[in-house]
Structure 1
Amino acid sequence: MIIYKRFGFDAAHFLPHVPEGHKCKNMHGHTYELIVYVEGVLLQPEGWVIDYADLKEAVSPILNLVDHHLLNDIPGLENPTSEILAKWLFHMIEPLVPGLKRIELKETPTSGVIYEGG
């Protein structure tokens, strides 16, 4: 079974490697939506894969690292495309959440990335 929980955070960034004149070369911000998927068996007697409160507790410190920050200032995120940010988030969350299956990171309501590790 796979369960999920949605999170949100706001952050600024710029993309230093895009061509001059590209709008994303300038600093700008996004309201990101992060969906964390966890796979596992139903634990007994609880009847769940993971307590949503435990999932929130595990993910919140990672989100505090990026929420209302300039992503480019965070080691590993010097070129914070949504793809690089998704990979970074996954690998930060993975040791804290047994059964982490994938994450979905939406940079805008219509654009995002799904990362499944690797």
Structure 2
Amino acid sequence: MPGKYTLVKHFWISCAHRVPGAGKCERVHGHNYKITFCVEGTKLDQMQMLIDFRQVKHALEKKYDHHFLNEFPEFDPEQGGSIPSTEKVAEVFYWAIHDLCQAKENKPTLKWVEVQETNEAYARFEWIDEQEGT
């Protein structure tokens, strides 16, 4: 009988950023971001996992944890990136996790990524495949 696996994982990283044009958020400030992602698939890897969520956590931590996001090209408009709003952070992290999924032999599907900036605010990014009409 066919089935589908779903993995939801969250972890925290600490980053600083500034959001020009956003009032007091124009000043450099930091967040303990709660990152949550959802991966689905019908095949497990040789370790009987969709993806080793430690690999995802370590990849994002290694690059972004305790850094100033505006200094990365993906978050610098002068280098072709976007201002690091919570929405754009969720999108950038989505594509980073997506690439990790695509590099796996079992090719799990990343459904969405949420970035919680404060207790009151979070953003979710999910890709909509226009060819599938979803």
Greater relative contact order (Cα < 8 A, sep 6+)? 1
Alignment partner, residue 66 of structure 2: 68
**SS of equivalent to 2:67:** coil
* Residue of structure 2 equivalent to 1:87: 91
Taking the aligned partners of 2:45 and 2:94, their CA distance within structure 1 comes to 27
* Matching residue of 2:7: 3
Structure 2 letter corresponding to 1:90: Y
Deviation string for 1:66-107 (max 9, x for gaps)?
Answer: 100000001111210000111111111101023111111101
The CA distance in 1 between the partners of 2:62 and 2:25, in whole Å, is 24
Q: Which amino acid aligns with 1:57?
A: Q
Q: Determine the C-alpha separation between the residues in 2 that align with 1:71 and 1:60.
A: 17
Give structure 1 regions of 4+ aligned residues with deviation exceeding 6 angstroms.
none
Percent of aligned pairs with the same residue?
Answer: 30
| Alpha carbons of structure 1 residues 58 and 74: separation in structure 2 relative to 1, 3 Å | same
Check whether the contact 1:39–1:49 (CA below 8 A) recurs between aligned residues: no
Query: 1: CA distance between counterparts of 2:97 and 2:44?
Result: 21
Normalised TM-score (structure 1): 0.83
Q: Deviations over 1:40-65 (max 9, x none)?
A: 1264997x6525xx121134122321
In structure 2, the residue matched to 1:33 is 34
What is the root-mean-square deviation in Å for CA atoms of aligned residues?
2.1
Contact 1:105–1:113 (CA under 8 A) maintained in structure 2: yes
Query: Do residues 15 (structure 1) and 16 (structure 2) align?
Result: no
1:116 paired to 2:126: yes
Structure 1 unaligned blocks of 5 or more? none
Q: Take 1:58 and 1:40, find their aligned partners in 2: how far apart are those partners?
A: 16
Counting matched residue pairs gives: 112
For structure 2, list consecutive stretches of 5 or more residues without a partner in the other structure.
77-82, 102-107, 129-134
